[in-house]
Structure 1
Amino acid sequence: MTTTPASSDPTMEAIGQAVVEGRAGDILSARHKLLNLWSELGVTGDPLHRCSLAHYLADLYEDPAQALAWDIRALDAADAVTEQRVQEHHASLHIAGFYPSLHLNLADNYRRLGSFNAATEHINAAKEHAPNLPQDAYGASLRTALDEVAEAISQRDTAKRPSAPGPTT
């Protein structure tokens, strides 16, 4: 999240700190912190926390099968998040805006695993939700990634995209 939340949320702050740590290169520590948070939340914890955590944790795995497991958890949790809960976290957010990225990540993982039919289903879902993306740099980067993944699916390419988030090999 790049904007100030509506109210203090220690769990979201801890998730954000781990994300920053992972993006700075300390993948193992960030992963460890997020896994510990996941254990504290449990499968019935706040769906916004579970969605955010799983979405970011997936990016910390090079293996597309491991990333896929977390991306599925993120999508499942998003389906349980209410618009009210998202607005409580930050007034500028809408749950509909989460879905393009969630489906994009699933499409990319399925593609990397060679499951092109599943990848196609999720890239199509991501495109259906793309109008919910903001008209800013973040939205533009996701639209570009949607095009990249769609092209890779059509080419039956299983290589990791250079622009994909996560650890580098």
Structure 2
Amino acid sequence: MSTTPPREQFLLISALGRNPMELTNVLCRASQESRCAVVSSRVSRHGEFSALVFQVSGSWDGLARLEAGLNTLAKRHDFTVHVTRSNAQEVRPQALPYVAYVSAAYRPDVLGELCQFFIDHRVELENMTCDTYMAPQTGSMMLNATITVTLPAGTQISWLRDQFLDFADALNLDALIEPWRPQHP
């Protein structure tokens, strides 16, 4: 008989619904009732809908129980759900977390250009938030983006920072890239 503990498994759940608090509550309770634990979550509003992404961990039978009940919950509480099995995030001890802040007049190509810059420099995306708004003084549509990235080991930071600032200047973006710092309350 084996004495090794069962291998922890993961489930990635994405859901869209109109009420973010109900959506979050329903999925948290379902996870708990299936003896699964929420590892990470993100919820955000987009127009009249909210998007929720959960990663839960648990034993294979707990995850299977949760997965089997999600479609019924989605119908009962009027949300859509998509589920994918996932693995734990790989440990990258040499990677360096950085945050890029961008503010600019809105253009549809800005986010794509930013992503292409980071792809070209082998920088991994960890998190991105982007909002548009009307500037109060001019009425112009503006874009604000915060992009958390991970620089690969061996990256010449000053060179990458210079490349990013030159790139931002060429696109007329107000941009800054700096080391990620934990938020303290």
Q: TM-score, normalised by structure 2?
A: 0.26
Bigger Rg, which one: 2
Q: Which has the higher strand share?
A: 2
* Higher relative helix content: 1
Name the TM-score, length of structure 1 as normaliser. 0.27
